[in-house]
Amino acid sequence: MTLLTMFGRSYYSFVNYLGSLAMLLAEIIESLVRGKIRMRKVIAQVYEIGYSSQPVVIITGAFTGAVLAAQGLFQLQGLGMESMGGAMVSVGMLRELGPTLTGLMLAGRVGAAMSAEIGTMQVTEQIDALRSMSVHPVDFLVTPRLIAMMLSVPLLITESAAFGILASWVVGTQAFGVPEAWWEFRTSEHTDMSDIYIALVKGAVFGFLIVLISCNEGLKASRGAVGVGQGTTRAMVFSSLAILITNFFLTMLMNLVFPTGVAG
């Protein structure tokens, strides 16, 4: 009975959490339909989400591409296929590592900040003050962040993948001595628009999940500073888990729609 009780409580909590996300999503859709978009807030969030996140995204992408190239070339050297290193990194960064790592970095940096900021407003009754002034909290706090995320994520993913591919070129051609012509030929031969489509679709989904989960945690915050801290932690953890789980299903689906090596 104890085991069943624990399972029932976990299941109830999970369903209840999904319900809160669905309610927030409905409010976001309603806000977008009403067209109450606050451009100043959107621009401020684009700076915070997009511009300020560039260093961490670029460094992550560059060193991921470099490590992937080095590890791949150690294996490919024994097969005499060193020239395929560039293609491996290019496809890997666009289809998987670029969107996923960018999403995880944003979940840790941006998602936690969103939850902390909105949670602080919630526990200090600033959100109640917005309601008293006939300002809907979703219009003012959530929708601008969602729009800014949708605008910023494609550029951040592009930067992450581009610097990863560039770093792999440096490692492959300079450190391992692979001829530049062969490296570039194999990279361009096995990379096409379908890889870019997958990266952008995954990035949009991951960005949406980060905003939805982080803002939901902020709006539910209670019990003062302790509640804000707990909500921030849950926002980062739940966003990261959602990205990793969703990535698997998106990979299975998108590779059926855009098979590797087939032009888009």
Question: 56-94: per-residue pLDDT in tens?
Answer: 999 999 999 999 999 888 888 777 777 788 888 999 999
pLDDT band at 37 (very low <50, low <70, confident <90, very high): confident
What angle, 0 to 180 degrees and rounded to 10, lies between the N-to-C axes of helices 180-189 and 85-92? 40
d(CA 214, CA 49): 13
Contact 73, 89 (CB under 8 A): no
Count of residues in the chain:
264
What angle, 0 to 180 degrees and rounded to 10, lies between the N-to-C axes of helices 112-123 and 193-219? 20
d(CA 193, CA 263): 6
| pLDDT tens readout for residues 94-128 | 999 999 999 999 999 999 999 999 999 998 889 88
- Percent of the chain at pLDDT > 70 equals 98
CA diameter of the chain? 70
d(CA 74, CA 178): 12
Residue 78: predicted pLDDT: 72
Residue 170: predicted pLDDT: 93
| pLDDT, mean over the chain | 88
pLDDT band at 263 (very low <50, low <70, confident <90, very high): very low
**231-251 average pLDDT score:** 93
Contact 171, 69 (CB under 8 A): yes
d(CA 89, CA 65): 6
Query: Residue 256 CA to chain centroid, in angstroms?
Result: 22
- More confident site: 249 or 177: 249
- The position carrying tokens 């989904």 is 205
pLDDT band at 260 (very low <50, low <70, confident <90, very high): low
Domain locations in the chain as residue ranges: 47-257
Residue 104: predicted pLDDT: 93
**228-253 average pLDDT score:** 93
Residue 261 has pLDDT above 60, yes or no: no
Residue 1: predicted pLDDT: 63
Contact 146, 214 (CB under 8 A): no
d(CA 69, CA 82): 10
d(CA 14, CA 31): 26
Residue 3: predicted pLDDT: 76
